[in-house]
Amino acid sequence: MQVLRPPETKGRMEVDCGGEVLTTKGQDRVDESKDETHSENQGSGALDTNYGGRLIENSHLERFMNRTRHRQYEIAFDCPEFTCLCPRSGFPDFALIKIRYIPDEWCVELKSLKLYINSFRNQRVFHEDVTNRIADDLVELLNPWQIEVLGDFNVRGNIKTVITSKHSRQAEKVLPNY
């Protein structure tokens, strides 16, 4: 899993065009909002049914410039279908991951967050580790004023686990408790 920090406009520029993010590379213009992953398999005529798996496998977090820096505000995401594998048994663990942050200069791009969250589905990882890893990766990418990542894991073996990871840069506002 890699965390992407886009180069500082060196040959690549992202532009918001009415809800679409257009990425330019030199003189070429690519519309990333169009999903062209339903390509046919080398002339066989069959639809590619594993394009989602490849997107997840090659996922990386992306960010965009916060356009509302004149005030602090909260962004909140719920990821109710989070899955990973128990590192001891290999059985699946299911959780609701809640992410709340107060952005400074950067915001996380939602499709990249979705693919990043889904990339844990086949990883053997402890609840504490995955919750803190998500927080660490988002702090590294965004450097927010404040962030809280909550992992609310389903009951396993009569035990319910809730992990909360917090990071703060002395924001003017404090996130209230859930």
Indicate the burial class of 146 (C-beta count within 10 angstroms; 0-12, 13-18, 19 or more).
Answer: buried
Residue whose C-alpha is closest to residue 132's, from 165, 169, 99, 101: 165
Q: What tokens does 129 get?
A: 């580790």
CA dist 39 and 48 (Å) reads 6
Residue whose C-alpha is closest to residue 138's, from 148, 129, 128: 148
45 band by pLDDT with thresholds 50, 70 and 90: low
49 band by pLDDT with thresholds 50, 70 and 90: low
Q: Where exactly are the structural domains of the chain?
A: 2-168
Per-residue pLDDT, 47 = 67
> What residues act catalytically?
86, 93
Percentage of residues in the chain having pLDDT higher than 70:
67
Mean pLDDT of the chain, nearest integer: 80
pLDDT at 86 over 90: yes
pLDDT at 40 over 70: no
Give the global pTM: 0.70
Chain segment 100-130, per-residue pLDDT in tens? 999 999 999 999 999 999 999 999 999 999 9
Right CATH for 2-168 from 3.30.1130.10, 3.30.465.10, 3.20.20.140, 3.90.400.10 = 3.30.1130.10
